[in-house]
Amino acid sequence: MEYCPTRFRTDTKWKLFKGFLFIVLEIIIIIKSKLNEIILLSFQGNTLDAVEHTNYLWLLFYPSIYMFSIWDAFRDSGGCRTPYAFFPFVFPVYLGTIGIIYSSVFRVGSILLGPVWLPIICLILGVLVGTAVQHLFIRFNNKK
């Protein structure tokens, strides 16, 4: 492929715009959902206060924007060489969102995990499940 400085400038501008857009969206969601306050309260052990201060309608957007920005950076850096590379990024979005939905009521024993810890645990499980599903799909398609 031939070097084209105009295309390079256009691609770079587009990537800078996307990066700026992702950062702005994350800042808006963090402010509107009161995520910093929720994190502070959760780390101090005040999980019930964290649940009360959470704006769930805004917080539900966070896993999607967060994981999509990571996926986009992964894809732009050439990380999509393996088939089904999107699975480890899609499953954390699903499970992280479910973790947020149930974070005000889900308890382990008598411990309420709250809007910080349950979604984080669900995101980690999502990465593991997504990676396992990716390997299953690769193995299934190699047998054909």
Does the pLDDT of residue 53 top 60, yes or no?
A: yes
Q: What is the pLDDT of residues 78-129, one digit of tens each?
A: 888 888 999 999 999 999 999 999 999 999 999 999 999 999 999 999 999 9
Q: At what angle do helices 87-102 and 62-76 cross, to 10 degrees?
A: 170
∠ CA 29-79-25 to the nearest 5 degrees?
Answer: 10
Distances (CA, A) of 96 to 5, 9, 29, 141: 41, 36, 15, 28
Distance of CA 44 to the CA centre of its chain: 24
